[in-house]
Amino acid sequence: MDVKDELDAVGLLCPLPVLKARKRLSQMATGEVLRMLADDPAAVIDVPHFCNESGHEMIGMSEDGPVQIYLIRCR
């Protein structure tokens, strides 16, 4: 998978990770993948909900210690 862009939202609290992801995805082409890092506990709920509501595809989520790593395909 080819990641086009990365967003470091570590240290940001709800709703900032999702707002920054929305802005970044709006600048990307359909099919491109955004890798987002976050450590807000609410992100595990907010990011999938954002993807579902906005039509973007969350293609993966993993954890690296306290940091969650989200892969989102722009739609």
- Residue 74 is a catalytic residue: no
Assess contact for 31 and 57: CB atoms under 8 A: no
Pairwise CA distance, residues 65 & 45, whole Å? 18
Instruction: Label residue 57 exposed, middle or buried (CB < 10 Å: 0-12, 13-18, 19+).
Output: middle
Assess contact for 9 and 37: CB atoms under 8 A: yes
Q: Which of 10, 14, 16, 58 is catalytic?
A: 14
Catalytic site positions: 14
